[in-house]
Amino acid sequence: MKNTYIQRVLHETRFRNADEPEFLQTVEEIVATLEPVMAAHPEYEKYCVLERLIEPDRVISFRVVWEDDEGNYHVNRGYRVQTSSAIGPYKGGLRFHPSVNLSMMKFLGFEQTFKNCLTGLPMGGGKGGSDFNPHGRSDNEIMRFCQAFMTELYRHIGPSCDVPAGDVGVGSQEIGYLFGQYKRIKNQYENGALTGKHMPYGGSPLRPEATGYGATYYLNEVLKHNNDTIEGKTFALSGYGNVTWGAVKKITELGGKVVAISGHDGYVYDENGINTDEKIDFLLDMRASRRNRVADYAERFGCQYFPGKKPWGIKVDVCMPCAIQNEVDVEDAERIVAAGTKYYIEVSNMPTTSDALAYLLGQPGIIVAPSKAVNAGGVAVSGLEMSQNSERLTWTDEEVDAKLHAIMKNIHDQSAAAAEKYGYGYNLVAGANIASFIKIADAMVAQGMV
C-alpha cells in the first residue's frame, strides 16, 4: 500500500477499533481496493471522506428484558449502528444470534452502506440486532422478545430516518411482531418503518425470495461475461435458511443442480439434486422448526449426511457460501480450488476470511464475486418495498422481479466497468467497492462538514 492517506487512516482505524476484529477486517479489505481512487480524487483526503465513513454516525446499545414461558426473566443486549445517511435513510437488517456484538454490527453496517449504494436506490447504511438466541424458543417467547426489543428501538427508527429489516434469525414472523409493537407505541400506521413485512400489511412481493433470486441473477451475468450458462452446472451452497432457499429455487428453475446444503451441525449431499418443490420447501420447514439441524433433510430424503463438516471441496462448478461471516477459511478455499470449482460466489455477508479471499483472488482458474454485490437483491427489494409503502400500492410479482433483475444486472455491469476504469481488469470485488464508494464520497463532499 503506497497511498499515504490510506495508510494514515488505516493506522488510526486499527488504533481506535483494536477490539473489533470483524470491523477492522471489512474496513481493511475495502479500503485496500480504493488506492487508485484516492490518487484520482485528492478532494476525498481534503474532506476526510474515509475517516468520516469509517466512524459510524451513531452507535446505539440498549438493554432488552423479556420473560420466557416459565416466567423467568432474561436480559440481552440490543444494538443499532447507524453507519451512514449520505445517500438515504439508514437501512439494514436486524440479526438475532448469540454471537452478535459491537464489532459484528459495525462490520455489517459498513458493508451495508456500500451494498445499498450499489442498488442505485436512495438508502444509507446501518445494522442492528441482539445476542438473543432464538434456537428452541416458542413463538410466544419470540414475540415477547421482539416487543421488548422494539420498546427501545422505536425511538431511533422511522420511514425517513432508519428502516430495519430481517437478517440471520429475523424473518417475516419476527418483523411482524416488531411492527405490531412499533405501531402500538407510536399510534401511527407507518409501515415504511420496517421492511420484510408479510404481504397483507405492506410487504413486497418476492421479498422472501429476493436475496437468493438476486444472487442467481448476478451469477448469470458473471456466467454471460464468461460465455457460460447455469444450465447443467452443479452447486454447493452453505446454509439452509431463507437466502439458501431462494437461491436453490432460482438455480433449479434455470437448469442448475444444487447437491449440497449445510447447517451448524454439518452438511448433506444429495446427488440427485435438491430440485423438487417438496425438497425445496422442506428448507422452510427446517427454518420454521428452529431445531437448527440440516440432518433433518438427510433423514427425510435418505441422502448422505456429514456431521461437523462444511460443504467445501465437493466436486462442483459453483460454490455459494450463504450462511455466516468467515465461514470459508484458507483450507476450505484450497479445497474449493483443488476440486476444480470455477465460480466462487459469496452470498452471506463477508463469508471469506481475509487470507482465503487473498488466496482465491490470486487463482487464475476461479472467478470470485463479492457478497456486497451478490446479496444486494435482498435490500434492493426492501428499497422497492419502501417505494410501494410510500405510494400506498403493491406491485405484481412480475413487476418486482423485473426490477430486481435489472438492478442485479446493473450492479454487475457498474462493478465491472469501475474495476476496468481503475486498472483492476475483471475484478468484481474491487469494482463493487469503487463504484459505490465514489457515489457515497461525492454525496458526502456535496453535503459539507457533517
Give the interface with ligand 2IT as residue ranges (CB under 6 A): 91-93, 112, 115, 165, 167, 195, 349, 375, 378-379, 382
Residue 193: CB minimum distance to ligand 2IT, A: 12
Q: Using a CB cutoff of 8 Å and minimum separation of 24, what contacts does 31-36 make?
A: 31/6, 32/1, 32/6, 33/424, 33/429, 33/430, 33/433, 33/434, 34/6, 34/433, 34/434, 34/437, 35/1, 35/2, 35/3, 35/6, 36/422, 36/423, 36/434
Q: Which of 91, 106, 127, 249 is catalytic?
A: 127
Closest CB to ligand 2IT among 174 and 296? 174
Residue 167: CB minimum distance to ligand 2IT, A: 4
- 127 catalytic per annotation: yes
C-alpha cell at position 100: 452478535
Closest CB to ligand 2IT among 114 and 305? 114
Residue 177: CB minimum distance to ligand 2IT, A: 17
Q: Can you name the residues that pair with 319 across neighbouring β-strands? A: 236, 344
Closest CB to ligand 2IT among 93 and 246? 93
Q: List all residues 6 or more positions away from 302 whose beta carbon is below 8 Å from its beta carbon.
A: none
Residue 88: CB minimum distance to ligand 2IT, A: 11
C-alpha cell at position 39: 490518487
Closest CB to ligand 2IT among 56 and 92? 92
Q: Give the DSSP per-residue string, 231-264.
A: TT-EEEE---SHHHHHHHHHHHHTT-EEEEEEET
CA dist list (Å): 179 to 163, 194, 390: 11, 7, 16
Q: Indicate the residue whose CB is closest to ligand 2IT.
A: 93
- How far apart, in whole angstroms, are the C-alpha atoms of residue 234 and residue 249? 14
Residue 297: CB minimum distance to ligand 2IT, A: 24
Closest CB to ligand 2IT among 133 and 382? 382
Residues labelled as active-site residues: 127
